[in-house]
């Protein structure tokens, strides 16, 4: 009817009286075989779509998070006084867009046990934190090549405390916020209500190697994958596999941190600590980045474990 600019009265030759048309359009009456034939023949509507079972309307709200997730959410300081959970969610996801968005976001890189109520709550908390950040009025395009500059930051003694300022200079908001029970998230790339890009990280794996890889992974999403149709990308980097943008973000982060030419030339199965330090010097990154990549590629998580910077990230960022 919308496509052909038809009014209800225009359907009377195919359905019957005005009252019958009204009953059909309101869902109080099913189409008869004769109606289906007439609509198919005269309006070109596929018969299959006329006889298929009606689809249930999608829920306008994802279910509430678990009690453990709600209790954790209350410690973030994002709820207003006397604000209910439902009112809090409505501030950031006021329509049916949130369920659709989160269902669309679910890819092979999402844990099968994910509590999407907790994910929605975490995303709303991130947006609450991001909305409090003042950004310059002028917006400049975010250039993917800045990823190499961001990776080089990892070698500085003040690297972690400089991340927020560095990203702010790129036009990106940085939020470090602990994960909620049932979310299984390492990070996310998303847009706040005014369209400003946000990189959010949970720091659930409190290691330098994981932090820098996740940061560069999310930077790739922000610089290359967020757009008018994609406002949110969630990442559980423990889950193997993914779609094209996840593979691209993995490759981007790996190359930005340690260029393939350096890695291929200097890495070996018998690499020692001196070799780790040498590669880190060539790539201009923190040695933890090199140690973590060697562990992943060789499936040996004992070797170089003391170089990963365990316990160093949350102490600075949360």
Q: What are the pLDDT digits (tens) for 179-216?
A: 999 999 999 999 998 999 999 999 999 999 999 999 99
pTM of the model: 0.78
Q: What are phi and psi of 227, to 5 degrees?
A: -155, -170
Which of 218 and 20 is assigned the larger pLDDT?
A: 218
Which of 34 and 109 is assigned the larger pLDDT?
A: 34
Residue 194 contacts residue 244 (beta carbons within 8 Å): no
How sure is the predictor about 170, in pLDDT bands with cuts at 50, 70 and 90? very high
pLDDT at 271: 96
Residue 200 contacts residue 190 (beta carbons within 8 Å): yes
How sure is the predictor about 23, in pLDDT bands with cuts at 50, 70 and 90? confident
List residues bridging with 188 in a β-sheet.
Answer: 200, 234
Tokens of 256: 């930005």
Map tokens 């009953």 to a residue.
Answer: 23
Of the candidates 76, 37, 53, 29, the residue with the CA atom closest to the CA atom of residue 200: 76
Angle of helix 116-131 relative to helix 67-74, nearest 10 degrees? 10
Distance CA 2, CA 136 (A): 43
How sure is the predictor about 21, in pLDDT bands with cuts at 50, 70 and 90? confident
Of the candidates 134, 115, 58, 127, the residue with the CA atom closest to the CA atom of residue 89: 127
How sure is the predictor about 30, in pLDDT bands with cuts at 50, 70 and 90? confident
Of the candidates 140, 187, 192, the residue with the CA atom closest to the CA atom of residue 163: 187
Angle of helix 85-92 relative to helix 116-131, nearest 10 degrees? 60
Of the candidates 233, 230, 231, the residue with the CA atom closest to the CA atom of residue 217: 233
How sure is the predictor about 177, in pLDDT bands with cuts at 50, 70 and 90? very high
Residue 93 contacts residue 102 (beta carbons within 8 Å): no
């Amino acid at each position: 009817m919308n496509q052909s600019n038809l009014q209800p009265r225009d359907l009377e030759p195919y359905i019957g009286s005005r009252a019958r048309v009204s009953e059909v359009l309101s869902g109080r009456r099913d189409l008869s075989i004769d109606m289906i034939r007439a609509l198919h023949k005269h309006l070109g509507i596929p018969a299959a779509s006329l006889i298929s079972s009606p689809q249930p309307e999608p829920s306008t709200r994802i279910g509430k998070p678990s009690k453990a997730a709600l209790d954790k959410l209350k410690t973030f300081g994002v709820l207003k006084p006397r604000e209910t959970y439902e009112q809090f969610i409505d501030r950031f996801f006021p329509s049916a867009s949130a369920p659709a968005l989160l269902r669309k976001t679910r890819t092979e890189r999402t844990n099968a046990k994910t509590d999407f109520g907790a994910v929605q709550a975490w995303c709303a908390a991130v947006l609450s934190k991001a909305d409090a950040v003042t950004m310059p009025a002028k917006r400049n395009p975010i250039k993917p090549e800045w990823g190499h500059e961001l990776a080089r930051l990892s070698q500085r003694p003040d690297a972690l405390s400089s991340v927020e300022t560095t990203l702010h200079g790129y036009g990106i908001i940085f939020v470090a916020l602990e994960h909620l029970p049932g979310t299984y998230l390492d990070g996310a790339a998303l847009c706040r209500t005014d369209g400003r890009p946000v990189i959010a990280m949970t720091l659930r794996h409190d290691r330098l190697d994981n932090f820098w890889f996740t940061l560069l992974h999310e930077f790739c999403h922000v610089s290359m994958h967020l757009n008018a149709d994609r406002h949110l990308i969630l990442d559980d980097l423990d889950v193997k596999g993914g779609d094209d943008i996840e593979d691209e973000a993995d490759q981007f982060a790996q190359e930005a941190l340690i260029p393939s030419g350096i890695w291929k030339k200097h890495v070996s199965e018998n690499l020692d600590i001196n070799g780790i330090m040498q590669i880190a010097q060539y790539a201009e990154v923190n040695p933890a980045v090199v140690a973590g990549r060697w562990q992943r590629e060789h499936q040996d998580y004992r070797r170089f474990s003391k170089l990963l910077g365990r316990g160093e990230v949350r102490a600075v960022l949360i």
